[in-house]
Structure 1
Amino acid sequence: MIKFGLSLRAVAMAACLSFAGPSSAADLGSECCNDLEERIADLEATTARKGNRKVSLTITGYVTKQIMFWNDGVERNAYISDIGPTQATNFRITGEASISPGVNAGYMIRIQDLTDNPMGSSQNVPSTNQGLNVQMANWYVASKQLGKLSLGKNALAAKSAAMFTDLSGTQVIANYVLFDGGAFFLRSNGALTNLRWGDFGYCYAQQRPWGGDCDGIVMNGVRYDSPTFAGFSMSASWGEDDDWEIAGRYVGQVSGFKLAFGVGYSVNTDENTQPPPISTSKDSAYFQAGGYAQHLASGVFVHAAYGSEDNNGERTLAGFTEPNSHQWYLKGGIRRQWLPMGSSVIYAEYGAYIDQLSPTALAAGATSSEFERFGFGFVQEIDAASMSLWIKYREHHAEIDGASIGDIDDFRYISTGALINF
């Protein structure tokens, strides 16, 4: 975390004193110092510093990269990339000011690095370069008694309500979204097809092959969050054009267990949520629920998430009925501090994506599908550097009815990388 509070003028004076000779060390009107002070004055006019304004400025974020070794049954290779478009390397600019006791106003801007987006990775593309992206930009007013109201490009009420209950320290590293591996083409009996793994983990609500977390992007909207009572809170939002969401959350400790629960429901009727449009009209309702429980004494934990999408019989541009679908995810493991550097986490995971057929899969004749993904991994935290190192293994398996593509070959990969917070 970086806070700006250093006096630039003090730096200028110190520089002048250190470079001035014995006869001129006290002469702050010298040509050297006058020139430097003029430059510093220009900087001060455009630089936010702690204490010179009523609104604070803080920069936080993280940097994360991985190397992914993959094998599709015929071809194998290694790619270096980030870890996904919604949880990629980023920095956040936030600030807050006090309006009155218990009432604050603030803002948040989040910039993502999408120069190495792994959701574009396939057999012939290591990653896609989408540059820097302003993922969020919003302001808010918050009251301890009345709650928080925010407006702008924002995480709306139910965003990732199920997935974000994972408090194991592995949520960014391992979850049920197809951040990596989803864009690879399937092989059938060794031959490449024109279908990708993400075509069997498609979310119509947000028109993307996320797999899980079908309410996981940010949108322009207005959101209200209630105050937290005994660990419980409620949220509601409206996003253009149109998206309605409600959610409930709980975080707390009970009888030696750390607990977190989340539930959300959203209805999206905007055909252009993520262009290009894939249907003439949209009416996607998404329900999600998730939870986490960790025994504090032993470190044993379990996390589960479930999502169900109802597309209400709407049709794709090609005339196919958009299927109703669901997915679920389970992760279990142990989190303990065996080493002095920080906690270690060992986990295993399993996810299933049922009938999440994309417009491309429907056009290929697919009528139903079951896409399974399982894996395991190890994470080592280094507290002194706010850092996590990981290595993980995953395997994809799918059974598809209707499409004449034969048996699908399994896809496997190992990735290792690190995340460092600042």
Structure 2
Amino acid sequence: MRRRSASPIFQFAIASAVCICAGYAEAADLSGDCCADLDERIAELEATAARKGTRKVKLTMSGYVAQEITGWDDGGKSNVYLHGLGPTQATHIKFNGEATISPGWTAGYMMRIQNLDDNPFGRSGTAAITQDRSAFSQGLNVQMSYWYLQSKALGTVSVGRQAPAAKSAAMFTDQSGTQIIDNYTFLDGFPQFIIRSGGDLSPAALTWGQLAFCYSQSVPLGGDCDGLVMNAVRYDTPVIAGFSASASWGEDDDWQVAARYAGEFSGFKVLLGIGYSGSTDERLAVALPNLIAKDSSYFQAGGYAEHLATGLFLHGAYGYEDNSGTLLAGDATPPDGEHWYVKVGIRRKWTPLGATVVYGDYGQYIDQIGPSALALGVRSSEIDLFGGGVVQELDSASMSLWLKYRNQSANISGASGVGPLDDFRALSTGALIRF
């Protein structure tokens, strides 16, 4: 949304000028010639009023507000929580400024402020949403802030706190209208919930996030393992025949490369994404107290295909994390982890309100064993996830309403004294409105 309105005081001054000039023209019988260009000047002044004195940089604001209500059952307790969609997909506002340097060249900046007042992705066991704690607040957070130079012929260079090159390369291929609402990360999946065993919250260190752990950034993301923002320098090529590529380096040190495609052919809408990253920064995102050295790499690939005539779609994503260069205390090396995810459904406009999306999804998280689970003796693990939902889009309000279900089950080996693990079930309803 582009801000073009002036303040009430400014509008009053403009109106007064109109009246004065109109009165003068009538009294002098000048047929309004003195005000011939007044409308043009008013439009120009109003257009620059929101730009703090510069007519060169245009300012655009956008974003969305999103909230969910989730009823959950962990096998020993059930409750209902109200929360956001987790970091990177939380309620936010973006400020984007851009100016033309010369034909084909632009410069700009972007700042993204997100609301983490009810963040379900708390990563600390003492400050996170758990079975016994329904709220976790991190307040407002400046998630991104960077400047960029863009050439239509040569591409874009951006510097600052931003999404690195391969961030969500697989996940963002999902164009079904459900990507923000339901995906293969644990951003809104309560990773700090303890996995019950026979109804008991024991051992407390065995959380769902400890079986969906990503060492690249030391967080329980599940999927999209090197997908958090950071201070980085990034380059993006121009889009040529639907193809583009990206590369980035972030301090200290995380490098990423990615390639993407978006296009239509033979009646299908198709998107593809592939990315590779390497990280050696021990303190990137979260510093693990028992980490001796880190050298993890992450490969991801994903795609989306939608038959435009029927609305039938398929989305798939895969990720593999190599942790052979990472060392924990006690000479322990975490295992390599992998995960895959598939979503199928139909997207059709059955009513004048907007498109309706009905989908089902399934995923697995294999040997993504976090340091706390390793300390318990876990040597292999698997989480199976299945669910689905329905989304109704309201075009006139730029809004989406949804109802979704998720079931998680886990199996582990190597941890003595830990019996069969209970399933976790969640039913969520929510809304998102864009501006």
**TM-score of the superposed pair, with normalisation by structure 2:** 0.88
Tell me the amino acid that sits aligned with residue 129 of structure 1.
S
Q: Determine whether 1:188 maps to 2:190.
A: no
Tell me the amino acid that sits aligned with residue 249 of structure 1.
R
Residue 183 of structure 1, CA deviation: 1.7
- Number of the residue aligned with 2:70: 68
- Number of the residue aligned with 1:421: 434
- Number of the residue aligned with 1:218: 229
Identity %: 56
Residue 292 of structure 1, CA deviation: 0.1
**Contact 2:294-2:325 within 8 A present in 1 as well:** no
Tell me the amino acid that sits aligned with residue 392 of structure 1.
K
Q: Determine whether 1:264 maps to 2:275.
A: yes
**Contact 2:67-2:85 within 8 A present in 1 as well:** yes
Cα 1:181–1:7 change in 2 (3 A) is closer
Say which SS state the counterpart of residue 57 (structure 1) adopts: strand
Say which SS state the counterpart of residue 3 (structure 1) adopts: coil
Aligned counterpart in structure 1 of residue 100 of structure 2, from 98, 101, 116:
98
Tell me the amino acid that sits aligned with residue 147 of structure 1.
G
- Number of the residue aligned with 2:58: 56
Aligned counterpart in structure 2 of residue 122 of structure 1, from 130, 137, 145:
130
Q: Determine whether 1:340 maps to 2:352.
A: yes
Tell me the amino acid that sits aligned with residue 144 of structure 1.
K
For 1:121 and 1:377, locate their aligned partners in 2 and report how far apart those are by CA, in whole Å: 24
- Number of the residue aligned with 2:372: 360
Cα 1:63–1:372 change in 2 (3 A) is same
For 1:155 and 1:118, locate their aligned partners in 2 and report how far apart those are by CA, in whole Å: 21
Residue 401 of structure 1, CA deviation: 0.5
- Number of the residue aligned with 1:247: 258
Aligned counterpart in structure 1 of residue 245 of structure 2, from 190, 212, 234:
234
Cα 1:156–1:128 change in 2 (3 A) is same
**Contact 2:368-2:381 within 8 A present in 1 as well:** yes
- Number of the residue aligned with 1:32: none
Say which SS state the counterpart of residue 12 (structure 1) adopts: helix
- Number of the residue aligned with 2:34: none
Tell me the amino acid that sits aligned with residue 265 of structure 1.
Y
Cα 1:15–1:101 change in 2 (3 A) is closer
- Number of the residue aligned with 2:80: 78
- Number of the residue aligned with 1:165: 173
**Contact 2:6-2:50 within 8 A present in 1 as well:** no
**Contact 2:296-2:325 within 8 A present in 1 as well:** no
**Contact 2:96-2:111 within 8 A present in 1 as well:** yes
For 1:141 and 1:161, locate their aligned partners in 2 and report how far apart those are by CA, in whole Å: 22
Q: Determine whether 1:4 maps to 2:13.
A: no
- 1:331-390 C-alpha deviation (Å, 9 max, x unpaired): 000000001000000000011000000000000000000111110100000000000000
Q: Determine whether 1:177 maps to 2:188.
A: no
Unpaired runs of at least 5, structure 1? 18-43
1:254-333 alignment to 2 at 5 Å?
254-278=265-289, 279-333=291-345
**Contact 2:75-2:424 within 8 A present in 1 as well:** yes
Residue 319 of structure 1, CA deviation: 3.5
Tell me the amino acid that sits aligned with residue 406 of structure 1.
G
- Number of the residue aligned with 2:13: 13
**Contact 2:90-2:115 within 8 A present in 1 as well:** yes
Residue 282 of structure 1, CA deviation: 0.7
For 2:177 and 2:148, locate their aligned partners in 1 and report how far apart those are by CA, in whole Å: 28
Cα 1:187–1:7 change in 2 (3 A) is closer
- Number of the residue aligned with 1:153: 161
For 1:313 and 1:225, locate their aligned partners in 2 and report how far apart those are by CA, in whole Å: 29
- 1:158-194 C-alpha deviation (Å, 9 max, x unpaired): 0010000000000000000012232211111111121
For 1:318 and 1:413, locate their aligned partners in 2 and report how far apart those are by CA, in whole Å: 37
**Contact 1:320-1:359 within 8 A present in 2 as well:** no
**Contact 1:5-1:51 within 8 A present in 2 as well:** no
**Contact 1:4-1:57 within 8 A present in 2 as well:** no
Tell me the amino acid that sits aligned with residue 217 of structure 1.
L
Residue 216 of structure 1, CA deviation: 1.0
1:27-42 alignment to 2 at 5 Å?
none
Tell me the amino acid that sits aligned with residue 178 of structure 1.
F
Q: Determine whether 1:396 maps to 2:414.
A: no
For 1:357 and 1:351, locate their aligned partners in 2 and report how far apart those are by CA, in whole Å: 16
- Number of the residue aligned with 1:39: none
Cα 1:274–1:10 change in 2 (3 A) is closer
- Number of the residue aligned with 1:406: 419
For 1:254 and 1:338, locate their aligned partners in 2 and report how far apart those are by CA, in whole Å: 24
Tell me the amino acid that sits aligned with residue 126 of structure 1.
S
Tell me the amino acid that sits aligned with residue 187 of structure 1.
R
Moved more, 204-213 or 8-17: 8-17
Residue 58 of structure 1, CA deviation: 1.0
Tell me the amino acid that sits aligned with residue 347 of structure 1.
Y
Residue 316 of structure 1, CA deviation: 1.4
Tell me the amino acid that sits aligned with residue 150 of structure 1.
S
Tell me the amino acid that sits aligned with residue 151 of structure 1.
V
**Contact 1:380-1:389 within 8 A present in 2 as well:** yes
For 1:355 and 1:118, locate their aligned partners in 2 and report how far apart those are by CA, in whole Å: 23
Moved more, 237-246 or 4-13: 4-13
For 2:7 and 2:222, locate their aligned partners in 1 and report how far apart those are by CA, in whole Å: 49
Residue 314 of structure 1, CA deviation: 2.2
**Contact 1:291-1:305 within 8 A present in 2 as well:** yes
Residue 86 of structure 1, CA deviation: 1.4
- Number of the residue aligned with 2:113: 111
Tell me the amino acid that sits aligned with residue 377 of structure 1.
G
Unpaired runs of at least 5, structure 2? 18-45, 122-127
**Contact 1:198-1:211 within 8 A present in 2 as well:** yes
Say which SS state the counterpart of residue 292 (structure 2) adopts: coil
For 1:52 and 1:321, locate their aligned partners in 2 and report how far apart those are by CA, in whole Å: 55
For 2:325 and 2:130, locate their aligned partners in 1 and report how far apart those are by CA, in whole Å: 32
- 1:196-239 C-alpha deviation (Å, 9 max, x unpaired): 11110000001000000001101101000001110000101111
Residue 3 of structure 1, CA deviation: 1.6
**Contact 2:300-2:317 within 8 A present in 1 as well:** yes
Residue 5 of structure 1, CA deviation: 4.2
